[in-house]
Amino acid sequence: MHVSAPASSANLGPGFDSLALAVDLPFELQDAELHQAQLQEPTAGSAGSELGWLIVESTHPAAVAYVAAGGYPTQSLWWRSPIPPGRGLGFSGAARVAGAFLALRRSGLGTAPAKQQAFMVAATLEGHPDNAAGSTWGGFAVAAGEQALSLAMPKELGLMVWWPQKSTSTVASRSVLTPMVSREAAAFSIARSALWVAAIATGELSALRVACQDQVHQSQRLANRPDSAEVLSELLAQEQVLAAWLSGSGPTVAALVPLGEAADCLAVQFAATGRTRVLAMNTTGVQEV
């Protein structure tokens, strides 16, 4: 069996641990039986197929999720992915969703309940549900504890992402956050998080400039990453950018843009200081390939 789960950009500014967008960077996982069959008779691959397959070590997040979802610890698994780890694009979330989903589907569980249970396993292991929700259902994911829903994104939109060479540890990034926030800061970010949902649901995308503002976590994280802070500020100054934010724990900065020549030019413009890519939205979430 061969499954694929998409990367995700989480928080989207004010939606701390609750909002995420799924993008077409896949984490692919397959069992040993299929892997050996493909070595004998190669088949057409999916996105990211130019990357070589790697054996899943027992400590890999995909393996841990596979076992947590009921898979046999001795089962050999193989993975490949163009998602850059430690860059705030949900590598571990996608890996965990894929691992849990593969185990559940191999057990005979139907696709829909396997997705729901895979989300629960991945969210528990992640410690927060946003990336897991995006990788499970795709689109614009809204997660609150054990509940998660997904809204479709406009097809003409994509994500321009920028990241520097140095990665960021999620644990280290969360450690800089203060344990308390003011009522004013909480109200500010709650309102804008809700505005994100309303803007996507109604198609009023002009509201996203306000919706991506945050007073809970971004400024503290960006204080330790002046390179990311500078790129975020410059992106928000670009007319074609609908919204921009620190992606997950960072250091990646993401900008929501209309797909096309303008987005490609934007990626070239910011490539001088880091890696850039223009990514389409993922609409399916985790699936069998």
State the CATH number of the domain containing residue 243. 3.30.70.890
pLDDT digits (tens, 9 = 90+) for 271-283: 999 999 999 999 9
Its domain, for residue 143, covers 2-152+284-288
User: pTM here?
Assistant: 0.91
Co-location of 6 and 146 in the same domain: yes
Please give the Cα distance from 27 to 90 (Å, whole number). Answer: 10
Co-location of 18 and 132 in the same domain: yes
Co-location of 219 and 171 in the same domain: yes
Co-location of 87 and 170 in the same domain: no
The sign one gets for the Cα dihedral 164, 170, 175, 181 is: positive
Co-location of 67 and 121 in the same domain: yes
pLDDT digits (tens, 9 = 90+) for 228-264: 999 999 999 999 999 999 999 889 999 999 999 999 9
> Is 69 in a helix, a strand, or coil?
coil
Co-location of 145 and 21 in the same domain: yes
Per-residue pLDDT band for 39 (boundaries 50, 70, 90) equals low
Average pLDDT over residues 112-139: 98
Co-location of 225 and 265 in the same domain: yes
Q: CA nearest 127: which of 26, 249, 284, 6?
A: 249
Res. 38: pLDDT tops 80: no
Per-residue pLDDT band for 3 (boundaries 50, 70, 90) equals very high
Co-location of 14 and 139 in the same domain: yes
Structural domains in the chain (count): 2
Co-location of 164 and 202 in the same domain: yes
Mean of pLDDT over the chain? 92
Listed in sequence order, the residues at least 6 apart from 81 whose beta carbon sits closer than 8 Å to its beta carbon are 25, 26, 27, 28, 48, 51, 91, 94, 95
